Amino acid sequence: MKQFDVVGVGLNATDTMLVVHRFPAHGGKVPFEKEFDSVGGQVASAMVTCSKLGLKAKYIGTVGDDARGILQMQSLRDSDINLDHVQQRQGCPNQSAYIIIDTATGERTVLWSRPDCLAISPEEITPDQITCARLLHIDGHDTRAVEHAARIARLNGIPVTVDVDTIYAGFDKVLPLVDYMIASSEFPARWTGIEDPFDALRSIQDKYGMKIAAMTLGAHGSLALLNGHFHYSPGFVVNCIDTTGAGDVFHGAFCYAVLQEMQIGEALEFSNAMAALNCTAFGARGGISTLEEARLLIRTGQRRGNLDISRKVL
């Protein structure tokens, strides 16, 4: 029996949130209404979501030793995640971001920085750190390290999910090791040069052979390709306060769905619900909800009208 349900290798961040009534025009100036610190990061927030859903989660990453890093570590400890292989780098600031939240729409603009001293090398990830779990979740930033982790998982029959939102050098070596790719809405077109999302996802799946090639669509939901068929799940209508971290929570929920062996339609709907609920509070992890809250939204919540792309879904 595995010690953990899921292990995540990748980013964490500590953000400064600035809340404005409306985002200024280029070169403009507006007052901000609120300023506060908030913990986040792609894989770290996904693991917090997994833990909130009742999974035994382990996080592997690096954290700075500054005030932002200390805040991140405390949050992860409070989330009941295993941190045995988190490295707190001495004399190194944590990854950080300044996030401007437009309260008129809930959308955010991100300015981020990750010092080189936080980089993880492949040699720092040993097989036992990966084989202790039933599922591996990665992002793409420290590409050689996540490739190494994914290769260990593949050799040991452990499924791999990936959260990818931008182009990373060498990521073509990671994708063949992935079972479930959930990309941002921009990634498939950028990676393939194919504008049509259906054709782009099909091209990626054909080339790299993952079981599911999918993409999130923000408020409009998510789209996935499985066994030659596209599945579209519309997003939920909620009182959106802040979209920060919605994608990270979606990925954590999808990890849960994979381990629960949900059918693809159910998995997308559940992940959409968890992402939507996170948007009802400020901060990347401000609205991470329980299984019961997600199920209630699925039963009673209003879906957004299907996009035109849904007409192409088989």
Position 310 pLDDT exceeds 70:
no
* pLDDT at residue number 104: 87
* Residue 176, C-beta contacts closer than 8 angstroms, at least 6 positions apart: 208, 209
pLDDT in tens, 128-158: 999 999 999 999 999 999 999 999 999 999 9
Query: What is the reported pLDDT for 308?
Result: 61
For 4-12+41-93+118-312, CATH number out of 3.40.1190.20, 3.40.30.10, 3.30.460.10, 3.40.50.970 equals: 3.40.1190.20
Taking only the tens place, the pLDDT of each residue in 178-191 is 999 999 999 999 99
Q: How far apart are CA 259 and CA 55, in angstroms?
A: 9
d(CA 241, CA 78): 24
Q: Which of 48, 78, 80, 72 is nearest to 290 (CA)?
A: 48
**What kind and span of H or E run contains 214?**
strand 212-216
Position 311 scores a pLDDT of 47
Q: Locate the domains of the chain by residue range.
A: 4-12+41-93+118-312
69: which residues sit within 8 A by CB, 6+ positions away? 14, 63, 88, 92, 93, 94
| pLDDT level of residue 309 (50, 70, 90 thresholds) | low
13-20, strands of its sheet edge to edge: 32-40, 13-20, 96-102, 108-113
158-161: long-range contacts (C-beta < 8 A, 24 or more apart)?
Answer: 158/130, 158/131, 158/133, 158/134, 159/134, 159/135, 159/258, 160/135, 160/136, 161/135, 161/136, 161/137, 161/251, 161/254, 161/255, 161/258
- Which pLDDT tens digit goes with each residue over 156-177? 999 999 999 999 999 999 999 9
